[in-house]
Amino acid sequence: MNTDSEPLAGFAVGVTAARRHEELAALLERRGARVVHAPAIRLVPLSDDAELLHATNVCLGERLDHVVVTTGIGFRAWLETADGWGLREELIDRLHKVRILARGPKARGAIRSAGLQEDWSPDSESCEEVLRHLLAEDLTGARIAVQLYGEPLPDFTGALRRAGAEVIEVPVYRWSRTDDSTPLRRLVGQAVAGTVDAITFTSAPAVTATLAVAAEDGLEEALLEALRTHAVAACVGPVTAQPLTERGVPTVQPERARIGALVRAIVSDLPRRRARLINVRGHALELRGHAVVLDGQLRPIAPAPMAILRALARRPGHVVSRAELCTVLPSRMITGGGLWARDGRPQADEHAVEMAVARLRRGLGRSGIIETVVKRGYRLACDPVRMEIPR
C-alpha cells in the first residue's frame, strides 16, 4: 500500500453534509478513507414562504442602500424564487441601484452571472470582515438587506441594528432535521466507541443537529469528549466550528472554506494525530483507525481486536492483564450500528479477551507479534525501551 497516494487508508471519516456530500465522500475515498455518510440536516426550500415573499417586497417597495450576499447558491435561489413570483426583473433592477457586498468568490460569481456587479468583497470570505467593513461607516438610518442561507445571523444583524441600520433579513432556505436520524445516531455511537476517526461538518446547523441527536440518546457529553480526545472534528470554517469551539472542542479547519481544502486539511492532520508506528520483532507496525499497516500492507482489523491492540500499544513490550483488557472491549456491538455501552466503561469477560486476541492474531497474519504471558496477560513482542519509531 502506498500511503502517499492513499494517506487516509485505514481511517473512517463521517460525513454529515446535506449538500455536496457525494463530492466530499468521493474526495475522501479517493485518498483511501472509509466514508460513513450520516446526513444531519436537510434543506427546506421556501418557495411558498410568506416571510421570504414579504422580505422581497420590502426590498422592492422601500429605499435600499446595501445588500449583503452571503452565499452563491442562496443568492441564485432568491432570484429563482422571485422569478416564480414574477418579480425577478424588478428585483434585478433594484439591485442595480444599491451597493452589493459579496462574502466570497461563489457569491461574487452568482452576482455577476445575474448581470450585476459587487462593490466590495473580502479576501477572507468571512462574514466578520464584511461586518467590520460596514461598521467602518456611519450606518444611521441605512437600510441593509442580508441574504441568509439556512440559519439566522444574530451577531451580524444585531451589530448592524445597534449601529443604527434597519436590517431586512432575506431567508432563502431553512434547515431542518433529517426525516431519518438513524444513520446519524449510528455515527454518534461509532465516534463514542472510537470506530470513527473524524467527523466532517460543513455548516453550523449540522453541528447543532448532531449534538441534539447525541443528547437525545444520552451521549452528548460522551460525543464531546470523543471529539476532544480521539476523534477529529473537521469543520469547513470558523462559523461552522463555533458550536464546537464554545464547548471546548478543538477543530481542524482549512485556510479557505472549500470542500477540497477541507479534505486536504484532514489529510494533513488525521494521520499525524491518529497513526502510530511501532517496531515489533523486526516488523513495522503502524496503527490506523480501523486497520494496521504491517510491513507496508494494509490489514483491516475489527473493532474488538483493534481495541486490544491499542491497549497493548500504549505500553509496548509491557504485559497488560486480561482484567485490564476486559475494560477496553465493548459490552455489546449492534450489527451495522457500532453502538457501545452508554456509560463509556464497557465490560467483558476474560473469554471475550481471549477471542479478541485470537482474532487479532489472525488479522495481523504474522506469528509472534502478540505474546501470551502465562497467568499474567498479553504484550506486544518488542523491547519496552526501544520500541517506538519516531514519526
pLDDT per residue of the chain (391 residues) written in tens, 0 to 9? 556 678 999 999 999 998 788 999 999 999 999 999 999 998 776 656 788 999 999 999 989 999 999 989 889 999 998 998 999 999 999 999 999 999 988 899 999 999 999 999 998 888 889 999 999 999 999 999 999 977 788 999 999 999 999 999 999 877 788 989 999 999 999 999 888 999 999 988 899 999 999 999 999 999 999 999 999 999 998 888 989 999 999 999 998 878 999 999 999 999 988 788 898 888 899 999 889 999 889 999 998 999 999 999 998 899 999 999 998 887 543 333 333 443 444 445 788 999 999 999 999 998 889 999 998 999 999 865 444 444 4
CB 43 within 8 A of CB 150: yes
- The amino acid that residue 245 corresponds to is T
Residues 6+ apart with CB under 8 A from 281: 368, 369, 381, 382
pLDDT given for residue 258 in this prediction: 86
pLDDT given for residue 334 in this prediction: 31
pLDDT given for residue 246 in this prediction: 94
* Domain 276-380 -> CATH class: mainly alpha
Roughly how many angstroms between the first and final C-alpha of the chain, as a whole number? 18
Q: Most distant CA pair in the chain: distance in Å?
A: 85
pLDDT given for residue 250 in this prediction: 97
pLDDT given for residue 253 in this prediction: 95
Rg (CA), the chain: 26
* Domain 12-40+178-274 -> CATH class: alpha beta
Q: How far apart are CA 294 and CA 27, in angstroms?
A: 25
Q: How far apart are CA 273 and CA 233, in angstroms?
A: 12
- DSSP secondary-structure letter at 388? B
pLDDT given for residue 332 in this prediction: 44
pLDDT given for residue 333 in this prediction: 38
Could you state, in order of their start, the residue ranges of all structural domains in the chain?
A: 12-40+178-274, 44-174, 276-380
Residue 8's nearest CA partner among 25, 19, 282 is 25
pTM for this prediction: 0.75
Burial letters for 3-31: b for 16+ Cβ neighbours within 10 Å, e otherwise? beebbbbbbbbbbbbbbebeebbebbeeb
pLDDT given for residue 366 in this prediction: 86
Q: DSSP for 194-259? A: T---EEEESSHHHHHHHHHHHHHTT-HHHHHHHHHHTSEEEESSHHHHHHHHTTT--EE--SSS-H
Q: How far apart are CA 272 and CA 288, in angstroms?
A: 10
Helix axis angle, 303-313 to 350-364, nearest 10°: 90
For the domain covering 44-174, report its CATH number: 3.40.50.10090
pLDDT given for residue 243 in this prediction: 93
Residue 84 CA neighbour count, 13 Å, CB half: 12
CA dist 179 to 42, 173, 183, 215, 216, Å? Answer: 8, 17, 11, 17, 15
Domains 12-40+178-274 and 44-174 alike in fold: yes
- The amino acid that residue 111 corresponds to is I
pLDDT given for residue 34 in this prediction: 95
Q: Which residues pair with 297 in a beta bridge?
A: 294
- The amino acid that residue 302 corresponds to is A
